[in-house]
């Protein structure tokens, strides 16, 4: 049977202790043992089904982890307090002093800053490469390289990583392929395509209500166990634990992810096609003009579409700012970082979510001043939204490609 991430989630059922249709929330940081020996065995990781302390694991976090592992097709998963908590734990777990990482250069600004400014303090260096150029990826690998890191759909340029090809390279060089799949939950299943570890910022589409930050690491049983190890596990020792109340609410929101993703994708495709027809400089993986449109089609789970993110170049930062302010005034969306909300969110990443990347590097990767990143919302009448957005662009004199 074909892999279907949403069906996998739907097939999981958990009941509360009194027969509730949702599992009970574990409202404890610590757990009692009837026998002292069981506590010792649990500490050593030898006792299944027992809980010790909620930084290590809790029933609520395990439910959410199981559902996300099912979604990504991995053996296990560990939820964390934020996406950065997941990313930093994975990188610190897999690397030691003297190791090297090959990373896509177009990644979330926080991840870039972590690799560029933080991990070198521990003797871990990173080469940033154009992930769409497989020869450059291969050429950047050296004898110390441990990780190949990328985002399936990159933030903010929406470049697509050829996960199958990257997995082949990773296997040849005995590297771990770590993929951040935050932009494309359900659409792309990196582990099924060959990734070793899949990460999400749950803050975005998966939770979908912009009321919390959260993250998850999906991988093999051995890897997830290693992260939780009381002696040397990064998740256990760095401590980015999600609170049980939150994981219970994220699990409930996860139940509707498939419906939301289809609508985000449908709305984004509609707007991208219309803006392109009008001659605006728009980038969306669902457009044939996207340089990796065919690659995306060879990787995606078709029913969930091309995702909720698109970019539009307003020509200059000044124009981008004016447009975002006007759209917000007309209630078309909010000028905000983050993504995956019911309402459209937009920002100019060069000065916001990617501002950690130096200007010359932004320029080199094609991140222009006037680029606006849109996370398209769940608008009921997207035709109405389109007309109103077009009115905003025309009234501000945003140029179409023909006039640039
Ligand atoms: N990965 C991507 C692609 C992101 O866009 C973000 C945040 O914007 C993160 C990771 C970090 O996640 P969090 O803010 O939940 O720590």
Report the number of distinct structural domains present in the chain.
2
**With b meaning 16 or more CB within 10 Å and e meaning fewer, what string describes 159-196?**
bbbbbeebbebbeeeebbbbbbbbbbbbbbbbbbbbbb
Query: Which residue out of 68, 80, 83 has the highest number of ligand 1 atoms within 8 Å of its CB and is therefore the one to mutate?
Result: 83
If asked whether residues 217 and 272 sit together in one domain, one would say: no
Q: Is residue 403 predicted with pLDDT exceeding 90? A: no
If asked whether residues 272 and 364 sit together in one domain, one would say: yes
Domain holding 329: CATH number?
3.90.1150.10
Last residue of a domain, one of 254, 273, 296: 254
**Which residue's C-alpha comes closest to atom 14 of ligand 1?**
83
Q: How many CA atoms lie less than 13 Å away from 397 in the CB half-sphere?
A: 3
CB 20, CB 239: distance < 8 Å: no
**Which residue's C-alpha comes closest to atom 13 of ligand 1?**
83
Last residue of a domain, one of 254, 276, 302: 254
Query: Which ligand 1 atom is at minimum distance from the Cα of 203?
Result: 15
Q: Please name the residue that has the structure tokens 């097939």.
A: 11
If asked whether residues 242 and 290 sit together in one domain, one would say: no
If asked whether residues 104 and 191 sit together in one domain, one would say: yes
If asked whether residues 207 and 347 sit together in one domain, one would say: no
**Which residue's C-alpha comes closest to atom 8 of ligand 1?**
338
Q: Is residue 200 predicted with pLDDT exceeding 60? A: yes
Give the confidence band of 113 by pLDDT, cuts at 50, 70, 90. Answer: very high
If asked whether residues 240 and 266 sit together in one domain, one would say: no
If asked whether residues 279 and 352 sit together in one domain, one would say: yes
Q: How far is the CA of 84 from the centre of ligand 1 (A)?
A: 6
Q: How far is CA 122 from the centre of its chain?
A: 25
If asked whether residues 82 and 139 sit together in one domain, one would say: yes
CB 350, CB 337: distance < 8 Å: no
Query: Which ligand 1 atom is at minimum distance from the Cα of 155?
Result: 3
Last residue of a domain, one of 254, 277, 299: 254
Q: Give the percent of the chain with pLDDT over 70.
A: 98
Residues with CB under 6 A from ligand 1: 82-84, 108, 110, 151, 155, 180, 182-183, 201, 203, 213, 215, 353
If asked whether residues 242 and 288 sit together in one domain, one would say: no
**Per-residue pLDDT at 170:** 98
- As given in the structure block, the two tokens for residue 262 are 């289809």
Q: What domain range is 206 assigned to? A: 5-254
If asked whether residues 264 and 206 sit together in one domain, one would say: no
- Helix or strand (DSSP H, E) at 37: helix 36-43
- Mean pLDDT (the chain) is 95
Query: Which ligand 1 atom is at minimum distance from the Cα of 338?
Result: 8
CA distance 273 to 315: 19
For 247, counting Cβ atoms within 10 Å of its Cβ (0-12 exposed, 13-18 middle, 19+ buried), the class is buried
DSSP codes of every residue in 329-364: HTTS-EE-S----SS-EEE-GGGTTTTTS-HHHHHH
**Which residue's C-alpha comes closest to atom 15 of ligand 1?**
83
The per-residue pLDDT for range 214-224, each reduced to its tens digit, is 999 999 999 99
**Which residue's C-alpha comes closest to atom 5 of ligand 1?**
108
Q: At what angle do helices 257-278 and 382-395 cross, to 10 degrees?
A: 40
CA distance 166 to 162: 6
If asked whether residues 244 and 301 sit together in one domain, one would say: no
CA distance 21 to 17: 10
Domain holding 133: CATH number?
3.40.640.10
Give the confidence band of 351 by pLDDT, cuts at 50, 70, 90. Answer: confident
**Per-residue pLDDT at 365:** 83
Query: Which residue out of 105, 107, 108, 198 has the highest number of ligand 1 atoms within 8 Å of its CB and is therefore the one to mutate?
Result: 108
The per-residue pLDDT for range 1-25, each reduced to its tens digit, is 689 999 999 999 999 999 999 999 9
Sign of CA dihedral 196, 284, 398, 338: negative
Please state the rounded mean pLDDT for residues 335-362: 90
Query: Which residue out of 105, 110, 152 has the highest number of ligand 1 atoms within 8 Å of its CB and is therefore the one to mutate?
Result: 110
The per-residue pLDDT for range 148-167, each reduced to its tens digit, is 999 999 989 999 999 999 99
> 177 - beta bridge partners?
148
If asked whether residues 243 and 311 sit together in one domain, one would say: no
Please state the rounded mean pLDDT for residues 189-212: 98
Q: How far is the CA of 50 from the centre of ligand 1 (A)?
A: 32
pTM of the model: 0.97
User: Which CA distances in Å does 14 have to 31, 73, 251?
Assistant: 21, 19, 11
């Amino acid at each position: 049977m074909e892999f279907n991430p949403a069906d996998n989630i739907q097939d999981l059922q958990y009941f509360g202790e009194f027969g509730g249709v949702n599992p009970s929330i574990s409202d404890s940081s610590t757990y009692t043992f009837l026998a002292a020996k069981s506590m010792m065995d649990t500490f050593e990781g030898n006792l299944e089904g027992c809980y010790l302390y909620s930084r290590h694991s809790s029933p609520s976090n395990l439910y959410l982890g199981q559902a996300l592992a099912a979604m990504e097709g991995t053996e296990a998963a560990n939820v964390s307090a934020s996406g950065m908590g997941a990313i930093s734990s994975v990188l610190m777990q897999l690397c030691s002093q003297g190791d090297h990482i090959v990373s896509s250069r177009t990644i979330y600004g926080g991840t870039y800053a972590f690799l560029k400014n933080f991990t070198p303090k521990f003797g871990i260096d990173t080469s940033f490469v154009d992930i769409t150029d497989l020869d450059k990826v291969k050429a950047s690998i050296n004898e110390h390289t441990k990780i190949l890191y990328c985002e399936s759909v990159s933030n903010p340029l929406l470049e697509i990583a050829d996960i199958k090809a990257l997995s082949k390279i990773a296997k040849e060089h005995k590297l771990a392929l770590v993929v951040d799949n935050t932009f494309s939950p359900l659409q792309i299943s990196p582990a099924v395509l060959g990734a070793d570890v899949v990460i999400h910022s749950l803050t975005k589409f998966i939770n979908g209500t912009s009321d919390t930050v959260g993250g998850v690491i999906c991988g093999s049983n051995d890897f997830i166990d290693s992260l939780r190890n009381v002696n040397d596990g990064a998740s256990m020792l760095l401590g980015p634990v999600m609170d049980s109340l939150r994981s219970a609410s994220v699990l409930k929101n996860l139940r509707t992810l498939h419906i939301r993703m289809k609508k985000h994708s449908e709305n984004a495709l509609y707007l991208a096609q219309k803006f392109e027809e009008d001659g605006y400089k728009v980038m969306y993986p669902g457009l044939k003009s996207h340089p990796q449109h065919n690659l995306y089609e060879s990787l995606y789970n078709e029913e969930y579409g091309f995702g909720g993110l698109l970019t539009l170049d307003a020509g200059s930062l000044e124009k981008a700012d004016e447009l975002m302010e006007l759209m917000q005034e007309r209630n078309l969306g909010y000028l905000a970082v983050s993504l995956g909300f019911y309402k459209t969110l937009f920002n100019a990443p060069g000065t916001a979510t990617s501002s950690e990347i130096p200007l010359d590097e932004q320029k080199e990767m094609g991140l222009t001043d006037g680029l606006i990143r849109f996370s398209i919302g769940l608008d009921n009448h997207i035709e109405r939204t389109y007309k109103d957005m077009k009115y905003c662009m025309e009234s501000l004199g945003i140029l179409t490609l023909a006039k640039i």
